[in-house]
């Protein structure tokens, strides 16, 4: 065979392999759920005694509201490997939590000047992960609620740019961060992309927390934020080293069941339900530890099946968050 023919044949073969890999990346991926069930191996929570998980009569009233700052629409197969091309909304949100001891944020949404912070980022970033429709800044939300100066602290699920982007709108408000998350971010993330995350975090004071509490609801450790069992943080690592989930346990159930906020352990509920990662191109771009992130996802899958009464809400899941966007009338009355 002539040399040109060999080259053409090789190119065609490589093209076929490439096309095959591209198609495969959209197909579902099998998880070995049987061998990964860490959840079953951990002790069940105590039925009584520590007041952490049962006995809602001991818990305070806690109000939770998602403040959506921006949205983008993607084919579902981008967010959920093996799904179809159905468009779904990806939200950029903060969560406002009112507890008797503090009014605080879980993640921070987007600040008023977010476009300026992103202006010097590469074209590819600005047209993919950094591409969204801006809706309402964090300060705009807080102003409409009369809370411009009413936030006691912001708890950050993790230190990716899209979770710290509201901080310029809350100058001086302390930031509570898992110590492992911050130490890992100091090794590169804070200063990557023209120090985008470091600039967004401004000079707000930092307060570190550790998961020093016992195993909680099958998760290997915990941190009880107010010591009353109502806000319990748990490690959901893999997306980043210290991605932090937050249980909300409360006595007022009329506006929603118990919640577990996931940070970015999943993007949308389907990641947990199937379970399935995002499309590998996105997953590999945003995940710091592939094996740990998959283990967390499978753990959450088992947890969700065991606890249908608890709403698991991912921080980009616009559909799930829409259930919790109405600020209760009692809250508005209290802020007049
Ligand atoms: Zn995110």
Cα(333) to centroid of ligand 1, in Å?
32
Cα(106) to centroid of ligand 1, in Å?
13
Q: How many C-beta neighbours within 10 Å does residue 171 have?
A: 10
Q: Round to whole Å and give the CA distance between 62 and 51.
A: 16
Cα(58) to centroid of ligand 1, in Å?
34
Cα(123) to centroid of ligand 1, in Å?
19
Cα(229) to centroid of ligand 1, in Å?
27
Q: Phi and psi of 25, rounded to 5°?
A: -65, -15
Burial 313-327 (b: 16+ CB within 10 A, else e): bbbbbbebbeebeeb
Q: C-alpha angle 244/232/171, rounded to 5°?
A: 60
Cα(50) to centroid of ligand 1, in Å?
33
In this prediction the pTM is 0.86
Q: Tell me the helix, strand and coil percentages in the chain, rounded to 5.
A: 35, 20, 45
Q: Round to whole Å and give the CA distance between 211 and 234.
A: 7
Cα(221) to centroid of ligand 1, in Å?
23
Cα(163) to centroid of ligand 1, in Å?
6
Longest dimension (CA), the chain: 85
Cα(314) to centroid of ligand 1, in Å?
9
pLDDT tens, 111-121?
999 999 999 99
Cα(162) to centroid of ligand 1, in Å?
5
Cα(318) to centroid of ligand 1, in Å?
12
Task: Indicate the SS3 state at residue 105.
Answer: strand
CA–CA distances in Å: residue 187 to residues 26, 184, 192, 283, 288: 33, 5, 10, 21, 12
User: Is the preceding peptide bond at 221 cis, omega within 30 degrees of 0?
Assistant: no
Cα(143) to centroid of ligand 1, in Å?
24
Q: What is the pLDDT of residue 317?
A: 96
Tokens in use for 35?
Answer: 């061998």
Cα(132) to centroid of ligand 1, in Å?
12
Q: Round to whole Å and give the CA distance between 152 and 205.
A: 12
Tokens in use for 97?
Answer: 């939590």
| N residues, the chain | 336
Q: Round to whole Å and give the CA distance between 282 and 271.
A: 13
Cα(306) to centroid of ligand 1, in Å?
26
pLDDT along the chain (336 residues), means of 10: 77 76 73 57 44 58 94 93 93 96 98 96 90 96 94 98 98 98 95 94 97 96 97 97 96 77 96 92 90 95 94 95 74 52
Identify whether the C-beta of residue 210 lies closer than 8 Å to the C-beta of residue 179: yes
Evaluated on CA atoms 181, 263, 104, 95, the torsion sign reads: positive
Cα(222) to centroid of ligand 1, in Å?
22
Cα(188) to centroid of ligand 1, in Å?
17
217: left (phi over 0), alpha (psi -120 to 50) or beta: left
Cα(157) to centroid of ligand 1, in Å?
9
Tokens in use for 199?
Answer: 């600039």
Cα(291) to centroid of ligand 1, in Å?
19
Q: What is the pLDDT of residue 65?
A: 94
Cα(317) to centroid of ligand 1, in Å?
10
Identify whether the C-beta of residue 160 lies closer than 8 Å to the C-beta of residue 244: no
Task: Indicate the SS3 state at residue 96.
Answer: strand
Cα(15) to centroid of ligand 1, in Å?
34
Cα(129) to centroid of ligand 1, in Å?
9
């Amino acid at each position: 065979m002539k040399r040109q023919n060999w080259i053409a044949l090789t190119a065609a073969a490589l093209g076929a392999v490439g096309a095959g890999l591209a198609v495969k990346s959209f197909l579902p991926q099998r998880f070995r759920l049987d061998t990964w069930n860490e959840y079953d191996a951990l002790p069940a929570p105590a039925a009584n005694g520590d007041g952490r998980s049962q006995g809602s009569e001991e818990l305070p009233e806690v109000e939770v509201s998602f403040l959506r700052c921006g949205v983008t629409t993607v084919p579902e197969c981008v967010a959920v490997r093996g799904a179809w091309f159905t468009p779904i909304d990806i939200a950029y949100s903060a969560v406002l939590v009112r507890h008797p001891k503090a009014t605080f944020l879980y993640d921070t949404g987007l600040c008023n000047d977010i476009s300026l912070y992103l202006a010097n980022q590469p074209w590819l970033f600005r047209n993919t992960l950094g591409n969204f429709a801006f809706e309402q800044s964090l300060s705009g939300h807080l102003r409409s609620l009369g809370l411009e100066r009413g936030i006691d602290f912001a708890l950050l699920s993790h230190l990716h740019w899209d979770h710290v982007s509201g901080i310029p709108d809350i100058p001086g408000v302390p930031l509570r961060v898992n110590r492992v998350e911050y130490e890992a971010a100091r090794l590169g993330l804070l200063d990557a992309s023209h120090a985008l995350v470091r600039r967004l975090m401004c000079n707000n004071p930092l307060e570190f927390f550790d998961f020093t509490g016992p195993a909680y609801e099958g998760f290997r450790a915990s941190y009880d934020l107010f010591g009353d069992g109502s806000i319990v943080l748990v490690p959901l690592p893999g997306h980043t080293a210290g991605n932090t989930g937050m249980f909300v346990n409360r006595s007022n159930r009329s506006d929603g069941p118990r919640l577990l906020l996931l940070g970015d352990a999943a993007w949308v509920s389907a990641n947990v339900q199937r379970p399935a990662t995002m499309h590998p191109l996105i997953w590999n771009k945003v995940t710091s530890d592939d094996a740990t992130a998959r283990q967390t996802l499978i753990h959450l899958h088992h947890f969700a099946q065991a606890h249908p009464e608890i709403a698991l809400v991912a921080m980009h899941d616009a559909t799930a968050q829409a259930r919790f966007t109405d600020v209760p009338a009692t809250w508005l009355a209290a802020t007049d």
